[in-house]
Amino acid sequence: MTTQNLSGKVALIQGGSRGIGAAIVKRLAAQGAAVAFTYVSSAAKAEALQNSVISEGGKALAIRADSADAAAIRNAVNATVDAFGRLDILVNNAGVLAIAPLEDFKLEDFDQTLAINVRSVFIATQEAAKHMGDGGRVINIGSTNAERMPFGGGGPYAMSKAALVGLTKGLARDLGPRGITINNVQPGPVDTDMNPADSDFAESLMGLMAVGRYGHVEEIASFVAYLAGPEAGYITGASLTIDGGFSA
């Protein structure tokens, strides 16, 4: 049975309408948090998720916000505070994955990778910190590819996720004196509609995992929920891998 240890807390998940983000929304809501989340194009999924949380007695708010747009990110933070009166937990889950051979990689894709995977994390954290106090939590969703990129074409993606390692360490020093922790969760291959476990691509990765399977979104969400909870107050500046032994 899921505990209600986040009762009275307010969370914002940047990129929460599907996949890992949606699982995080559901998990934090199940543990008692009021949850706002952003989406870009999946309006129907976002509305369905919002209504699902509300129908189960929780509080949820879907906010359309492009994570490449600084003003939209700041507006999402402030809309969350306006709706629920405070902000305690920020989960930076928005991300893009562009893969192409070095000679074909488009500069626009490189710039978008940085804008969404790194810049949006900084902007959202900067804005959210204005509203957080003692016990605040910031959780970034990185990737095990920061540690291991076993195929060509993924250099910019790996770079963006490695950047989160340094950003998380640095921001821990800014936020720590205020009683706010910040950590970086690094999932391995996870079964989502963007990276299904039954694809040919997944088959090529399966042998790289020590446990021989893809992860489930609920497993990532439970890890995030722990970091968001009261027992994780002594963990900050850490990059924590949950990848089935992919990087072992």
Instruction: Point out the residues that are catalytic.
Output: 157
CA distances from 81 to 7, 44, 76, 90, 123 (A): 16, 24, 9, 12, 16
Would you say 142 and 121 are in contact if contact means Cβ atoms under 8 Å apart? Answer: no
With both helix axes pointing from N to C terminus, report the angle between 70-84 and 120-128 in degrees, rounded to the nearest 10: 30
The counts of H helices and E strands in the chain are: 8, 7
62: which strand partners?
37
Residues 6+ apart with CB under 8 A from 146: 158, 161, 162, 164, 165, 186, 239
Q: Is 37 exposed, middle or buried (0-12, 13-18, 19+ CB in 10 A)?
A: buried
Q: For residue 186, how far is the Cα from the chain centroid?
A: 10
Q: If you compute the radius of gyration of the chain from its CA atoms, what whole number of angstroms results?
A: 17
Would you say 164 and 140 are in contact if contact means Cβ atoms under 8 Å apart? Answer: yes
